[in-house]
Structure 1
Amino acid sequence: MTMLRSTPLKLTSTLIVIFTLFTLSGFGAAYLFTRASVDEEISADLEQTVQAVRSVSEQDEIEERISEIAASTSPADMLLRYDVPGKPPVGTLPASVTVRPDSIVEGNRLPIAGDAAAGSYLAWKGRVGDGDLTLLVGRDGLDELGNTFALVLLWSLIPALLLATVTGGFVARKARDRLDAIESTLKQLTSGQNAARVPLSGDTGDDLGQIATAVNRMAEAQEASIEALRQVSADIAHDLKTPIQRVAVLLDRLDDGTLDDAAQNTVGAAREETAQIIKTFQTLLQIAQMESGQIRSTFSPVDLAALTRDLAEMYEPAACDSGHRINVEADDPVMVTGDRNLLARLIANLIENALRHAPGGTLTLRVVSGPSPELVVADEGPGIPASERERVLRRLYRMERSRTSEGSGLGLSLVAAIADVHDAELTLGDAGPGLEVRVRFGASSTASAGANRIPD
Structure 2
Amino acid sequence: MSPAGLDYPGREKGLLADARRLWQSVAFRLALGYGVSVVLFMMVLLSVLYVQTIGVLQNRIDRQLVSASHRMLSHFEAYGPERLADDITENLTDGVNSDTEIYLLATASGKKIAGNIAVSRDLLRPTFGITEKQVLRDGRLSYSRYRTEQLADGSILVVGRDLRDQRDLEQLVGNALMAAAVVAVLLAVVGAVVFRGQLESRVGAIRRTAAQIEAGDLTQRIPVSGRDDEFARLSHDINMMLDRIEILMDGVRHVSNTIAHNLRTPLSRIRAKLEVASRPGTDPAQMAQATAFAIREIEELTVVFDKLLQIAEAESGARRQAFQPVSLNDIVADVVELYEPVAEEKHVELQVHMADEAVAPGDKDLLASAIANLVDNAIKYAGSPARVIVGTRATDETVSVVVQDNGPGIQAIERSKVGTRFFRLNRRVPGYGLGLASVTAIASLHHATLHLDDAGPGLIARIELPRMRST
Q: Name the TM-score, length of structure 1 as normaliser.
A: 0.49
Q: Name the TM-score, length of structure 2 as normaliser.
A: 0.48
| Larger CA Rg, structure 1 vs 2 | 2
